[in-house]
């Protein structure tokens, strides 16, 4: 699409990969598909850090049904920790968080730091995240605002 390379399939798996840092965004189809492709091909991934590009605006709506269709059995089966830095609380970002919380059974910690120009208030976003179903009963959410870190567990 417009010269972007979409990474949808890989010929290999990253079986030894335990930790992954991605500089990406959830605003355009190529980056969303590439993110899911990498996650599908890292079956033993335990730690995921996502640094969100703050210059992007959402151009493609990857609703829950679309993102759920990208999820495969066993994907993120060992995922325990996710850190998202620069979140804007865009619908695609929120749907990604919802899927991680609802599907990763060994999940322990989600650590979020918001970016500039958020699409909703931090309080509204956190209330929404706290309402998401969790596959892991020990999943906790840490949110770093401008002044402090807030701990949530439900």
Higher pLDDT, 27 or 148: 27
Domain that holds residue 136: 16-144
Evaluate whether residue 151 is within a structural domain.
no
More confident residue, 125 or 8: 125
Whether 122 is covered by a domain: the verdict is yes
Q: Global pTM?
A: 0.87
Domain count, the chain: 1
Has residue 6 been placed in a domain?
no
Q: Is residue 67 part of a domain?
A: yes
Structure confidence by residue, pLDDT tens digits, 84-109: 999 999 999 999 999 999 999 999 99
**For the segment 23-81, what is each residue's pLDDT rounded down to a tens digit?**
998 988 888 988 998 999 999 999 999 999 866 678 888 888 888 888 888 899 999 99
Residue 73 is assigned to a structural domain of this protein: yes
CA neighbor of 38 nearest in space, from 85, 76, 93: 76
Give the Cα separation of 16 and 143 in Å (integer): 30
Token pair for 21: 């840092």
Answer yes or no: are the C-beta atoms of 27 and 92 closer than 8 Å: yes
Question: What is the C-alpha separation between 34 and 20, in angstroms, rounded?
Answer: 13
What tokens appear for 56 in the block?
A: 């992007």
Give the pLDDT band of residue 152 (cuts 50, 70, 90). low
User: Quick check: is 105 in a domain?
Assistant: yes
Q: What pLDDT is stored for residue 123 in this prediction? A: 87
Residue 92 lies in a domain: yes
Residue 154 lies inside a defined structural domain of this protein: no
């Amino acid at each position: 699409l417009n010269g972007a390379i979409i990474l949808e399939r890989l010929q290999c798996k990253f079986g030894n990969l335990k930790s992954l840092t991605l500089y990406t965004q959830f605003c355009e189809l190529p980056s969303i598909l590439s993110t899911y492709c990498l996650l599908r091909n890292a079956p033993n991934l335990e730690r995921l850090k996502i640094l969100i590009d703050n210059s992007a605006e959402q151009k493609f709506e990857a609703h829950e049904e679309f993102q759920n269709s990208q999820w495969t059995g066993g994907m993120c089966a060992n995922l325990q920790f996710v850190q998202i830095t620069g979140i804007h609380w865009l619908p695609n970002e929120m749907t990604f968080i919802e899927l991680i919380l609802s599907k990763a059974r060994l999940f322990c910690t989600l650590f979020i730091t918001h970016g500039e120009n958020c699409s909703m208030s931090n309080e509204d976003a956190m209330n929404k995240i706290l309402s998401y179903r969790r596959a892991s009963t020990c999943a906790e959410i840490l949110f770093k605002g401008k002044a402090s870190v807030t701990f949530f567990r439900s």
